[in-house]
Amino acid sequence: MSPLGPGAAERHPAAERAYATGLASVVGGLLVVPLLLGPWAWYLGAGVLRDVEREPGRWTGASRARAGVVLGAVATTALGLAVLALVGWAVVELVALRRDTGY
């Protein structure tokens, strides 16, 4: 039951979690490992937004969930770019190792 009384909407329990996960994934992105939280924050926030849209009289927290979706999308993009950079680096190193130097 909502602390605001019967019939009042309460914040969705996963809204804060989506926001915190998204924030942690972007802020901790310099360490690369927290970027892995980005897709999870995006997924979690999208689920909260669906729940809030489905039952607007029961749940609030759409703004926090939306922030989690945006932060999760930013972290997911950064993760994708990091993976592409890693693959590119590996290809360059592989080509350099296989190059005939003439010796």
pLDDT in tens, 77-92: 988 998 999 999 999 9
Tracing tokens 């969705």 back to the chain, one arrives at 12
Q: How is the chain split into domains, by residue range?
A: 11-98
- Answer whether residue 103 shows pLDDT above 80: no
Residue with the larger pLDDT of the pair 94 and 35: 94
Identify the pLDDT of residue 1. Answer: 47
Angle at 13 between CA 68 and CA 80, to 5 degrees: 25
pLDDT of residue 7: 66
Contact 24, 53 (CB under 8 A): no
Instruction: Determine the average pLDDT of the residues in 67-82.
Output: 92
- Inter-axis angle of helices 38-54 and 15-27, to 10 degrees? 160
pLDDT of residue 6: 61
The beta strands (E) that lie in the chain are given as: 10-11, 59-60
